[in-house]
Structures are given as structure tokens and as C-alpha cells.
Amino acid sequence: MSNIVDSNETEGIAGHGSFFQQTNLSGAEAAKATEWVRKHVDKRTVDLGERMDDIRDHMWELEKDGQIIVHRITDAHKPIEVQTLFGWTKKVPTMQLWHHKSCGQCGNIPGYPTSLLWFMNKFGFEPGKDYLDETDQTSCTAWNYHGSGIGNVESLAAVFMRNFHQAYISGKQHGFEAGHFFPLVHCGTSFGNYKEIRKYLVESAELRERVTKILGKLGRLVDGKLVIPEEIIHYSEWVHVMRNRIASELQTVDVSNIRVTMHAACHYYKMVHEDAIYDPSVLGGNRTAVGSSVALALGAQLIDYSTWYDCCGFGFRHIISEREFTRSFTMDRKIRVAREEANADVMLGIDTGCITTMDKNQWIGKAHDNDFAVPIMADVQFAALACGADPFKIVQLQWHASPCEELVEKMGMSWTEAKKTFEAYLKEVEAGNIEYLYNPELALGAS
């Protein structure tokens, strides 16, 4: 007890507290102090000479030695190859996908996953064959790990292997071989967590041994081995490789008058950064390509801004222990800058936490006379709008706190009429006339 310090004196909660003092820097001094960030933003200064090994090379060796099974991306998955920051080739499957949902998306931004399923249906993908959205999945639990520090690598790895084992065997109940469906991760935090944990598993024999024991008790091994995926795939990577088909085959709305800004999730391109997709045709290759690339393919005006590199402010621990810091950061460093520098009609994101933070906290600005706002949505939601998806029924903008009405109107759709149509639809649902994007019985193995 003698080691506990009064939080009102020097210590704070989860790394925040009174010991953080105002620097009282002048504007010029503050600009000088953060100039290094802008240099990294504008000229991606990563030393591509001396690099770490490609973790996949070690996976092949472990599989060859009979220690693991690699869930491979095959020709049946119709992969498209892309280049990562380090120039490595990454295969992105476009078919036979197992949807790994996001707890935050389903709870806060339901139009996010709905738009993704809508696209797969629009492309003629057959549920239960070309993609599977089943319920036998748990949270990745990285929220707990990043938010509280209570989690540990062993538990994260066990959850990772449990979920991806389910993805590997999920085809069997539909009459396919193991490995038929490949996991498509919706959440940026899950994506970053799984990539990090995969590295730990491959590099640590002790961790593999411990996790193998846990998975054995759960009945989640194949021939006594862990199943590790060849690639970790984020949904925005699927949108990236499908962007030209989306624009050429499905787009019905001219968005050339829409000014778009992009916020890329830290957990997509800052964690295990060597795996993030970069493309010289997207902002000169100085920014990760996902999200931005689909806006360009649709013909929107993609506008850069000075705080592109900044976090959205969510930070997991910040949102718990210093919520006002999160709110002020997202308003001052992201929303205000996007409005003042880019005059943005919309800001796109690719991750649950980012979009929730920037979308749900703009109301707080009015309390401080910061009367500026920018609509916030996922890249796939914006793409769905550009392809004629219903703003309420599919994209579900009624769940958003940021003002989306003007954007919808500027895209040539009537918000008022769409709302009336949706209200009539709700009456039908209330009467029992329910329409599904996806047959829920497929989750139970129905065909």
C-alpha cells in the first residue's frame, strides 16, 4: 500500500493525469516541435534497405517441419496481387470469404458491414458458397488489451487461433473442403492485432506450445496443429482490389463534385507497417492506398490535409481515462483541419474506432463554439452511396451523429424522400414482412 500515490498529486489513471502540464509553446514553437511529423507524412521516410524478415517465409518452414498448417489462398479464392510498403507481394482473395465482423461496427455503425454484404450480393456472390457471414465468431478481445492492459499475448493468440480455425473449417457444414472460406477481417483493430499476434506465434515456439494446449482443450486443432492464415486480410483491401469493378460495373451516381478527405486507421498502416498496401498512383505512394483508392476510382476529389498522419484521437485508453482529450483531439486535429484546409464534404475511414470517434463526438464542439462539422463514414459506405444504395436501408446513415444530409443531397439524392421510404419500410418490418440481405439460417449450416 505504501507504493500507491495519490492520483491528485503526481500519478494518473492509465498513464494520464495532472503530471501532464501545458507546454505554453508559441505557435511558431509548436510548429517547430511537430515538424518531424510533417516530414514523415509528406515523404515516407522508411529505410527500405535493412528490413526485418518476411514472416511468411518462416511460416512455410514451420509448415514444412510439420508444426503448423497454413490456411492458403488458392486460385479458387480468385486473389489479386498488390504491393506492400516494403515491396512485398500480398495476395488479396476476392471470393469465398468468411466475414470476421467487428463488435463496434455491429453496435455503432451497422451500415458499415451491411454495405459490404450489399456489394457482394450486387456482384452476384452466392451466400454460403462465395461468402459466409456466420455467427460462430468471438470478439478479437484487442479492445480489452489496448484499452486496459489486462489482456495478454497468450489469450490474444488463443482467441486469434480459435476464430481462424472456425474460418478454416466453416466450409465443411456447407459441403466444401476445409479452407474453402478465407477470413476477411472487418475491424482495423482486429486486423492489426492479428498481424502482430501472428508474428509472435511464428517467432515463439513457447507461445505456440502454450496456445496449442489451449486450442487442444477447445477442440480447435487440425491433426494436432494450429492453423495460421497465409495472409491477414482487411475488408478495405478487398474494396481496394475491387474498386475498378465497383466503379465500372455498379456506380450510378456522379461524385466528381464531392470533396473527400481520408483518415487511415493507425492499426491498419502503423502496426506491422510492412504489410500495409501502398500504390504509386494513390497520392504519390506517400499514403497507404486503401480507402483513398476507391474514392479516386469513383471519380471523387481526394483532398490531402496536413494532419493526415494523426490518430483520430480514440487511442483506446484515452477514450476510457481522458475522454475529453479524445474529443478535443478529434475535433481540433482532424475535423477542423479537414474543414478549413480541404473544405471537405466528407471524411472517409476504414476502421470502427476511428469512425465512431470522429462521427459521434462532433456535437461536443458546439459547447465550445467550434461550429464546424464534417460527415464521417466508411469508404465502403461512400462507395455504396455512389452505387445507388439506399442511404437508410443499406448505408444506414440514420445511425450517424455527424451531419450526412447535405452530402446525400449533393450526391443527387433526396434525404427527405429516402427517409419517407425508410419509414414505410419499417412499417412493413413491423408487420412481419422482413427482407434479408443474407439468409440467417446459413449461420446454422443450412444450404
DSSP string, 174-205: GT--TTSSEEEE--HHHHHHHHHHHHHHHH-H
Banded pLDDT at 333 (limits 50, 70, 90): confident
Per DSSP, 253 falls in state S
pLDDT digits (tens, 9 = 90+) for 282-330: 988 888 999 999 999 999 999 988 888 888 877 766 666 666 667 778 8
Percent of the chain predicted with pLDDT > 90: 60
DSSP helix/strand/coil, 97:
strand
Residue 332 to residue 325: CA distance in whole angstroms:
10
Domains of the chain as residue ranges with CATH: 55-235 (1.20.1050), 253-428 (no CATH)
Provide the 3-class DSSP secondary structure of residue 369: coil
The Cα 87–Cα 45 span in angstroms is 14
Which among 208, 167, 221, 216 is positioned nearest to 190, based on CA atoms? 167
Most confident of 2-11, 314-323, 342-351: 342-351
Q: What is the pLDDT of residues 79-116, one digit of tens each?
A: 999 999 888 999 999 999 999 988 766 777 889 999 99
> Which pTM was predicted?
0.89
Beta partners for residue 90, in sequence order: 82
User: Which of 108, 214, 110 has the alpha carbon at shortest distance from 154?
Assistant: 214
Instruction: Go through 337-359 and write b for each residue having 16 or more CB atoms within 10 A of its CB, e for each that does not.
Output: bbbeebebbbbbbbbbbbbbbbb
With contact defined as beta carbons under 8 Å apart, do 345 and 363 qualify? no
Q: Pick the closest to residue 235 from 184, 310, 296 (CA basis).
A: 184
What is the spatial distance between Cα 173 and Cα 78, in angstroms, rounded to a whole number? 22
User: Is the model's pLDDT at 411 over the cut of 90?
Assistant: yes
